[in-house]
Amino acid sequence: MPRRFARSLLAAGIAAPLLLMASGQAEAAVPTDKAAVLSSWTQTSVSSYDAWNAARQNQAAWSAYQFDWSTDYCTTSPDNPFGFPFKNACARHDFGYRNYKAAGTFSANKDRLDSAFYADLKRVCAGYSGATATSCNATAWTYYQAVSIFGLSPAVDGTADAR
């Protein structure tokens, strides 16, 4: 009888954790179209920017996708240089960098992310005219060149991982 009792305890000791795991909530699965959604929000078009910005304003609706919405905006550069509102363009750029790094496909997408950033900056500048537009476009080009050249640097993309 003691052997049978020991086996029962062993079986109960093994079965109990399995039952607890089975009865607990399973971690929600990330939707299979996450990569497609990420891609659609990181293109150079205004519609891509608008879709990303709408989602950013309603992040709870996209929680199943487990996107990283964190941002430090323009990192060590001014968010609104010379009064030009570049902050949201920087936020979308951070979104692309952080989520493609998490997906392990950053290198394959970096050039497009930087191009989308530049397109966003140029759309900001399109709202100006004359010398102000020229100044804005020159500043946008400088910001684009910085991320294009130094975008793998922690000082530019706000991450500790330089890869």
20 is catalytic: no
Contact (CB, 8 A) for 116 and 147 = no
The active-site residue, picked from 93, 98, 101, 110, is 93
Cα 10 off chain centre by:
47
| Residues ≥6 apart with Cβ < 8 Å to 106 | 97, 100
The residues annotated with a catalytic role in the active site are 93
